[in-house]
Amino acid sequence: MSSLFSSLHTHTIFCDGRDTVETMCCAAYEKKLHAIGFSAHAPLEKKAGIKTFWNLPEEKKDDYIKTVLEAKSRWEGKLLVLLGFEVDYIKGLRSALDEDITSCNPDYLIGAVHFIIPPNGTEPFTVDGSLEELVTGVNNGFGGNMDALIHAYYDATLEMIELGGFNILAHPDIIKKNYRDAKPWNTEAEAARQKEVAIAAAKARITVEVNTGGINRGKIDEVYPSLPFLKMLREHNVPVIITADAHRAEHINGNYDIAVQALAEAGYTEHCVVPTLFSLPQSVCKI
């Protein structure tokens, strides 16, 4: 690959990653990446009352920020190191606009829908866990109607984009990871919802990630978003950035060749190396 790349969707031992900030920086440097960004799953328990094993514990937040900022200084001139968070959007409970996040002065934020609030008032559940979890959530919260869950997922994505406050839209069709085992996917109805997302993303001027994390972890054999969705984003001139959702150093730019191929197939001729951040202008690179 001759193009310039970054890795702005990464997780470390501060949340659910396996490696340290420094190990991840070394991997990014070895792979000749232009930039690495840290995007710990923002704390959730205090704001949303949801306890997970993958979100950054509240008491580790200051240490996380300090560690990333120290790496930023240490690597200056060799590797651009950026401070970020992957922030869940959960209606009325958590968003990238929350003061506990913005007050950290992050370089960028990734907006992500993992949790869905069922319409019948049962507990929010994640669409990013196992198929069993998803099926239980659909049965308890949506009367077993998977289509209703898919609509709820895209509704939440659209609400999050409308609300704003973040730079990169995370894995825009991650819901397919599980439900494609339970039902046919990429239906006409879903394509219509994805088109709404493409239009909203263009209007909000956000960057959408082309995320190889599902491939890196052996969950799925293609990037998020799927090719038809990526083509819609291209039609609406939505900028894209390739990310690995790396939870370990060896995945820092894992399967970027597959992402490049998908972008080319979708008609993209360039990708962002660094999207428009809170503190930096956009930097793009030809594919």
Q: Which positions lie near Zn ion, rule CB under 5 A? A: 86, 112, 170, 245
Nearer to Zn ion, 86 or 173 (CB): 86
- Give the shortest CB-82-to-Zn ion separation in angstroms: 15
Instruction: Give the number of other Cβ atoms within 10 Å of residue 203's Cβ.
Output: 12
Nearer to Zn ion, 19 or 86 (CB): 86
Task: Kindly tell me the burial class for residue 130, based on how many C-beta atoms sit within 10 Å of its own C-beta (0-12, 13-18, 19 or more).
Answer: exposed
Phi-psi region of 7 (alpha: psi -120 to 50; beta: other; left: phi over 0): beta
- Give the shortest CB-112-to-Zn ion separation in angstroms: 4
Nearer to Zn ion, 175 or 262 (CB): 175
CA dist 226 → 49, 98, 173, 211, 231 (Å): 32, 30, 7, 10, 9
Nearer to Zn ion, 78 or 91 (CB): 91
- Give the shortest CB-172-to-Zn ion separation in angstroms: 11
> Are 106 and 278 in contact, with CB atoms under 8 Å apart?
yes
Nearer to Zn ion, 165 or 235 (CB): 165
Nearer to Zn ion, 21 or 112 (CB): 112
In the three-class reduction of DSSP (H, G, I as helix; E, B as strand; rest coil), residue 7 is classed as strand
Terminal CA-to-CA distance of the chain, rounded, Å? 9
Instruction: Give the number of other Cβ atoms within 10 Å of residue 148's Cβ.
Output: 15
- Give the shortest CB-157-to-Zn ion separation in angstroms: 12
- State residue 57 phi and psi, 5-degree precision: -65, 140
- Give the shortest CB-86-to-Zn ion separation in angstroms: 5
- Give the shortest CB-170-to-Zn ion separation in angstroms: 5
For residues 199, 202, 204, 208, the Cα torsion angle rounded to the nearest 10 degrees is 100
- Give the shortest CB-144-to-Zn ion separation in angstroms: 26
How far, in Å, CA of 230 to CA of 34, rounded? Answer: 24
How far, in Å, CA of 105 to CA of 28, rounded? Answer: 23
Nearer to Zn ion, 130 or 237 (CB): 130
